Amino acid sequence: MNTEESSPLIGAEELQAQLGAPDLLVVDCRFDLGDASAGRRAYDASHIPGAIFASMDGDLASARHPGSGRHPLPSPQAFAASLSRWGFTPRSHVVVYDQGNGAFAARLWWLLRARGHTRVQLLDGGFAAWMAESRATDTAVPQPHATPVEPRGFDGVVSSADVAAGLAARNITLVDARAADRFAGRNETIDPVAGHVPGALNMPFTGNLDARQRFLDAATLRQRWMPVLQHAQQTPVVAMCGSGITACHNLLALAIAGHGNTRLYAGSFSEWITDPARPVVAEEGA
C-alpha cells in the first residue's frame, strides 16, 4: 500500500489545480444524521467535478447488529469492494470532503489511513469552501473502472472491552468528541441513555475549527490539545463520540498537531450503553 505521507488537509485552490490528474480520486462524503438520503441528493444536485459519492451507511459503516454501536466499521471485505468500485489503487491521491466542517469526511480519511493508505487529504472547509470561491461544479456521475483491491484490516481500533480494561489500568486517555451538553447527559436526543463513559475527557470536535468551519492551524491545535496530551503522557489517546464518526475528526486534528499515538473506539457511546453492566456518568439532574 502507498506509504507516501501527505498533509492531512488540502485547500480548494490546490485541489482545483489537481483536478483531472490520473491518480486523483475525489470522494463526496456529505451526510445528514437525521436524513440518510440527504447526502446523495446533495451530490446529485451538485458536486466537485469528477467526485464519486460515498454513502455513510453503505460504504463507511456496516449495518447495526446486537451489541454494536450505531455505525459499526465496514468489514475489510466490504470496504475493499467500495474502494474497488471507486477505482482506487495504491497510487491514488484521495481527497475527501463533506458539506463543510469535515465531521463526516474525516471518517473516510481515518478508514484509509487505518488500512495503510497515507496519501489521503481532507478538503478544508468542504463543499461550502469550494462554493464560497465560486469554483466549478458538476452533476455528472463518474463511472470508474473497477480495480482489484485487497481486503485489509483496520489498525488502531479498540473494543469496548479494551476501553474498560484500559481505563481500569489507567493506560489509555479516552476523549469524547460529542458536544458538552450531550457528554454531560443534559441533551441526549439520539441515544437511549444519556451521559458518558466514566473517566472520559470531553473534547468537542467543533473546537478544532475556526469561525469559517476550517481547521485551526497546527500550533493552535497543539495548544488546544496540550492538556489532553499532558494527561496522556506516553499512553494512547483513544477517540470516541456517539457512534465513531466525529471521533475521527479529533484524530485528524491530532494528526495535524503532529500527535500520532492514537486509537479509535469505533463502537463509541452507542455501543458502550448496549451492556447495562457498563457504568455511565451523567450530571446530577440531567
Summarised one tens digit per residue, pLDDT across range 228-240 is: 999 999 999 999 9
> Looking at the chain, how many residues does it have?
286
Q: For residue 74, give the DSSP letter.
A: P
Number of Cβ within a 10 Å radius of residue 77: 11
Helices 247-256 and 105-114: crossing angle in degrees, nearest 10, is 70
**Predicted confidence band of residue 56 (pLDDT cuts 50, 70, 90):** very high
Which of 149, 232, 241, 252 is the catalytic position? 241
Between the CA of residue 57 and those of 24, 31, 109, 205, 277, what are the distances in Å? 24, 9, 16, 21, 28
C-alpha cell at 63: 449495518
Per DSSP, which regions of the chain are E strands?
9-10, 24-28, 52-53, 93-97, 120-123, 157-158, 173-176, 201-202, 237-240, 262-265
DSSP 275: S
29 is catalytic: no
pLDDT in tens, 16-36: 999 999 999 999 999 999 999
Q: How far apart are CA 180 and CA 186, in angstroms?
A: 9
Mean pLDDT for the chain overall: 96
CB-CB contact of 122 with 109 (8 Å): yes
Task: Give residue-wise pLDDT tens across range 81-127.
Answer: 999 999 999 999 999 999 999 999 999 999 999 999 999 999 999 99
Q: Cβ–Cβ contacts within 10 Å for residue 280, how many?
A: 15
For residue 283, is pLDDT > 90?
no
pLDDT grade, residue 194 (50/70/90)? very high
Domains and CATH numbers, the chain: 9-132 (3.40.250.10), 157-272 (3.40.250.10)
Give the model confidence (pLDDT) of 126-181 as tens digits.
Answer: 999 999 999 999 999 999 999 999 999 999 999 999 999 999 999 999 999 999 99
Query: pTM for the whole thing?
Result: 0.96
- Of the candidates 61, 15, 56, the one whose C-alpha atom is nearest the C-alpha of residue 38 is 56
